[in-house]
Amino acid sequence: MDILCEKYRELRLDGSLIGLERADGPAYFCTPVGAEVIGWDSGIHYCFIRGLGDTVFCVNPETCCEHYVYPIARSFRDFLGLILAVGNTNTLQQIILWDKEAYKAFVSSPHERDNLRKSEVRSALDALRRGTGVEPIGSPFEYVKALQSDFPYEKIPFSDEYYEVLGLERPGAAAPGRRSAPADLTGD
């Protein structure tokens, strides 16, 4: 596990205030094989995936885009820096759907501004910053969009259930009577 992630957990923050609640939840059909869950925001969860380095992923079982799992940050440090920049994971998990104008409209909406003004949210963000030494990342929209546009989504390992639920053929599946080679998941 990432050392900074351990440090974050030791802070014992109320992660629900920033969309990173520590809870045990069910694995969904789209939870990748080898996922190490970091935290939850309702049914959406954030994780590392064994074999895919330090990247932090969003797992969204009710996705509105072509991916149920997508990268949010290159590392846990960056993930925290993005949360500090926008105030919560809710904003981050929706960037995949937005253009720059939609992002700006969301972060400047009265609801989002009011949420960031709440003393308990400000306190949680301040404790996160002080407790980890992480600083907010500038240009969070551009950071996340660049990561998502260059990411090799085919490297995400899914269970048979994923392909069954979506009615998809597993990539590399063997034709009847042939065996397929296992996927290369060593791309740290």
Give pLDDT tens digits for 63-102. Answer: 888 999 999 999 999 999 999 999 999 999 999 999 999 9
167 lies in a domain? no
Number of domains in the chain: 1
pLDDT at residue number 29: 95
Residue 165 in any domain: the answer is no
Q: Is residue 137 part of a domain?
A: yes
Residue 17 forms part of a structural domain? yes
Count Cα atoms within 13 angstroms, Cβ side, for 115.
18
110 located within any domain:
yes
Does any domain span residue 63? Answer: yes
Average pLDDT over residues 141-164: 96
How far is CA 11 from each of CA 67, 78, 153, rounded to the nearest angstrom?
32, 18, 33
Domain containing 129 equals 3-150
**139 occurs within a structural domain:** yes
